[in-house]
Amino acid sequence: MSDLLSQAEAVWQRVVPTLPGFTVEVLPSIDSTNSELMRRARAGLMEPVLLAAEEQTAGRGRVGKSWHSRRGQSLTFSLALPMAPASWSGLSLAVGASLANSLHPDVRLKWPNDLWLHERKLGGILVETASTGDAPQGKRMVVIGIGLNVARPDTEAVASLGDAPTALPAMAPAGLAEILVGVTAGEVLAQVAPALAQDLLAFESQGFAAFAQRFAQRDALQGRSVQLSDGTRGTACGVGEDGALQVLTEQGMRHVTSAEVSVRPC
């Protein structure tokens, strides 16, 4: 029995009281857990489900980037459930705050969807939504994809994933095993999934406000020089009530809601 599969029952038992009808699936290999759950959502899936894979062959990250996934070396899973928050703003930040809180005090959050460990990328979050005719009024199916490095990935393999040639060189990745020696992907899943389910319901009822303080405590960009994808430079000054990044530029404070942010040394 695989490590992930051995933890599936424990995850289900802890989450199903929070999400009635919840199921857990573990596959040996798939193109992308997010892509699969989005396909199901568009076909009418409305029950909450967690889909984990031992390996992803076409994992996706934000703005079309690939996500490197090797069997036993990383944890890749997606959680789908119907939600109807008053505002979707800040959802990826709330997910990050939930994960960081469950993982380790050293984990930091890089706006808007990355987890960092010791100044290196540990994982990423991809949030997608789909509406279906079978959805209860006001609800959309949200699919939250999580990719976490358990072992530290090979830097050359990560660099060869095919990002745009104009992108900054890939930062050396981090792995949870650096701070949680011997931890397995299944153990990490059991560690983060129950709290994530609870936190998603909290986000639905309270919005990002319920997570603002937690995010601020883990904010990796606070007070640092940053550069936006359009070339604008400034100093990161935390996030607003809607989760937008606040960047102090020569022209004044700029509220960034979607631009990719690259951190530059101070």
pLDDT digits (tens, 9 = 90+) for 168-216: 445 679 999 999 999 999 999 999 999 999 999 999 999 999 999 999 9
**Structure token digits, residue 183:** 């931890």
Is the domain of 52 the same as that of 135?
A: yes
Helix axes 185-206, 91-103, angle to 10 degrees: 140
109 lies in the same domain as 177: yes
10-residue mean pLDDT series, the chain (266 residues): 90 96 96 94 92 85 53 89 94 98 97 94 94 71 96 58 41 89 95 98 97 97 92 94 94 86 64
**Which active-site residues does the annotation give?**
62, 121, 264
The pLDDT of residue 167: 42
Both tokens of 42, joined, read 């568009």
Q: Are residues 173 and 259 in the same domain?
A: no
Please tell me the distance from the alpha carbon of residue 259 to that of residue 254, in angstroms, as a whole number. Answer: 11
pLDDT at 63: 45
- Ranges assigned E (strand) in the chain: 23-27, 49-53, 74-83, 107-110, 114-117, 120-130, 140-149, 225-228, 233-239, 245-249, 252-256, 261-263
Domain range spanning residue 100? 3-218
Number of domains in the chain: 2
Q: Are residues 81 and 64 in the same domain?
A: yes
Same domain, 118 and 233: no
Residues 237 and 203 in one domain: no
Residues 223, 239: contact at Cβ < 8 Å? Answer: no
> Are 251 and 172 within one domain?
no
In this prediction the pTM is 0.89
